[in-house]
Amino acid sequence: MSYTISATNQNNQVGAGNVSLIVTEENIFDVLDMVPGQEETGQITVTNDGEVNVNYFIFADWKPANEETSTVQAQILADRLQVRIEDDEQNELYDGSLSGLSEVEGTEALGLEDPDDSDELTFTITLPEDVGNVVQNINITVDLVFVGEAVEEEND
């Protein structure tokens, strides 16, 4: 004859957290007629508006700003424009071409440890002095895309 026993582990719960980022809505750049060597700076605040710790990534999506600029020309300008991103402690988060902030690469993970935490980011765009005439009269629009993901909290 065999003996059996049954035990129950009750009241387990599983739920998903809310990931939400708030990003400054105003344009940080509205620059036309940049000349080689010109540098422009703008700031964006990123706030964790969710319920969990968040890592976020920054990507750039660009396109021709008008009918006179082709997609190929827009790519040429995106390859030449240099972007530097720093946090409020002047730590360099990204330094490279605008095209390097594409969906494939983007920035390394940037973290907001707690809900309501914020990062003040400074974006600097530069048209290098050695760019020559290849980008003359090319205009692009750029969307900065912020993608957040929940970070698992470590149990002590």
CATH number, domain containing residue 130: 2.60.40
Residue 65 in any domain: the answer is yes
Asked whether 113 and 53 are in contact (CB, 8 A), the reply is yes
Q: Give 43's strand partners.
A: 122
Residue 11 in any domain: the answer is no
Please tell me the total count of domains within the chain: 1
pLDDT band at 121 (very low <50, low <70, confident <90, very high): very high
Please give the pLDDT value at position 138. 92
Asked whether 43 and 120 are in contact (CB, 8 A), the reply is yes
Residue 156 in any domain: the answer is no
Residue 1 in any domain: the answer is no
Of the candidates 108, 118, 112, the residue with the CA atom closest to the CA atom of residue 59:
108
Number of H helices, E strands in the chain: 1, 8
Of the candidates 143, 128, 141, 126, the residue with the CA atom closest to the CA atom of residue 41:
126
CA pair distance 44, 67, nearest whole angstrom:
29
Residue 130 in any domain: the answer is yes
pLDDT band at 69 (very low <50, low <70, confident <90, very high): very high
CA pair distance 69, 88, nearest whole angstrom:
35
89: containing domain: 21-28+38-150
Residue 10 in any domain: the answer is no
Please give the pLDDT value at position 114. 83
- Report whether pLDDT(61) > 70: yes
Residue 3 in any domain: the answer is no
CA pair distance 44, 88, nearest whole angstrom:
10
pTM > 0.75: yes
Q: What is the pLDDT of residues 42-52, one digit of tens each?
A: 999 999 998 88
Of the candidates 26, 27, 29, the residue with the CA atom closest to the CA atom of residue 126:
29
